[in-house]
Amino acid sequence: MRLTILGSASAKPTIQRFNAAQVLDVNGRPFLIDCGEGTQIRLKMADVHPMRIQHIFISHLHGDHMFGLVPFLSTLSLHNLLSPIHIYAHPDLEKLARPWLDYFCRDLTFPIHFHPVNPRACQVIYQDKSLTVTSLPLKHTVPTCGFLFSSEDPYYHLIPHCVEDYRIPIAAMNVLKSGADYVCADGRVIPFREVTTPPRPPKRYAYVSDTAYKPSLIESLQGVDLLYHEATYNTALEDKARQRGHSSARQAALIARDAKVKRLVLGHFSSRISTADQQQSLLDEAREVFPDTSLAHDLSVFEF
Closest separation in Å from C-beta 67 to Zn ion: 12
Closest separation in Å from C-beta 9 to Zn ion: 12
Half-sphere exposure of residue 140: CA atoms within 13 angstroms, side-chain side: 21
Cβ proximity to Zn ion: between 17 and 62 the closer is 62
Cβ proximity to Zn ion: between 62 and 250 the closer is 62
Closest separation in Å from C-beta 210 to Zn ion: 4
Cβ proximity to Zn ion: between 210 and 298 the closer is 210
Q: Which residues bind Zn ion (CB under 5 A)?
A: 62, 210
Catalytic residue among 25, 34, 47, 64: 64
Closest separation in Å from C-beta 10 to Zn ion: 8
Half-sphere exposure of residue 177: CA atoms within 13 angstroms, side-chain side: 13
292 is catalytic: no
Cβ proximity to Zn ion: between 210 and 225 the closer is 210
Cβ proximity to Zn ion: between 19 and 40 the closer is 19
Residues with a known catalytic role: 64
